[in-house]
């Protein structure tokens, strides 16, 4: 049997890879929540607040570019529980190196603002509400 063919009933490689990514994402979120002992992650609140401010500073096209850039970085895989992992985002604050958790927070805010109702892949609802309060209580206007 050729390696390019899959046995009957087995998922395609793309489907299998997506399932594995989803499981890894859920595990990372569980570890993150366990580390915070059920409390909101204050580091995430600060990163979300900063992301809200960053989106506020950008024109609508820049907001879309930032979201797309964060999404592209996220597609490569992010280790949100590893503060040593860093990524450079050209469209964030004029170009900045940020942690994996910061990338996820930037992505989360972008999804909330530009794609409301879409699943951001992680639940930062509590942290986001706190961050909006820090960012003067009003999310930035988006096109």
Cα distances from 49 to residues 11, 21, 56, 99, 131, in angstroms, run 40, 27, 11, 15, 5
- pTM passes above 0.85: no
Q: What is the CA radius of gyration of the chain?
A: 17
Per the structure block, which two tokens stand in for 93?
């604050």
Q: What 3 state SS string does 81-94 have?
A: CCCCCEEEECCCCC
DSSP single-letter state for residue 37: T
80's CB contacts (< 8 A; 6+ apart) are 28, 32, 100, 101, 104, 122
Say whether 96 sits in a helix, a strand or coil. Answer: strand
- Residue among 103, 96, 88, 82 nearest 35 (CA): 82
How much is the pLDDT for 70?
95
- Interior CA angle at 82 toward 77 and 85, to 5°? 65
- Each residue's pLDDT, cut to its tens digit, for the chain (143 residues) gives 445 454 555 555 566 566 656 655 665 566 565 555 567 888 999 999 999 999 999 999 999 999 999 999 988 888 888 889 999 999 999 999 999 999 999 999 999 999 988 888 888 999 999 999 887 655 555 54
Is 76 in contact with 55 (CB distance < 8 Å)?
no
How much is the pLDDT for 143?
47
Note the residue count of the chain.
Answer: 143
Residue 114 CA to residue 117 CA, distance in Å, equals: 10
């Amino acid at each position: 049997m050729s390696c390019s063919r899959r046995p009957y009933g087995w998922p395609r490689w793309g489907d299998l890879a997506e399932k594995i990514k989803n499981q890894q994402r859920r595990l990372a979120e569980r570890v993150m929540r366990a580390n915070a002992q059920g409390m909101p992650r204050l580091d995430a609140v600060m990163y979300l607040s900063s992301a809200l401010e960053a989106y506020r500073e950008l024109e609508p096209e820049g907001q879309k570019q930032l979201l797309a850039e964060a999404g592209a970085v996220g597609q490569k895989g992010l280790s949100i529980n590893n503060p040593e992992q860093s990524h450079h985002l050209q469209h964030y604050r004029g170009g900045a190196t940020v942690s994996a958790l910061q990338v996820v927070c930037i992505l989360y805010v972008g999804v909330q603002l530009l794609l409301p109702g879409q699943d951001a892949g992680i639940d930062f609802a509590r942290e986001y509400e706190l961050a909006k309060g820090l960012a003067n209580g009003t999310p930035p206007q988006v096109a």
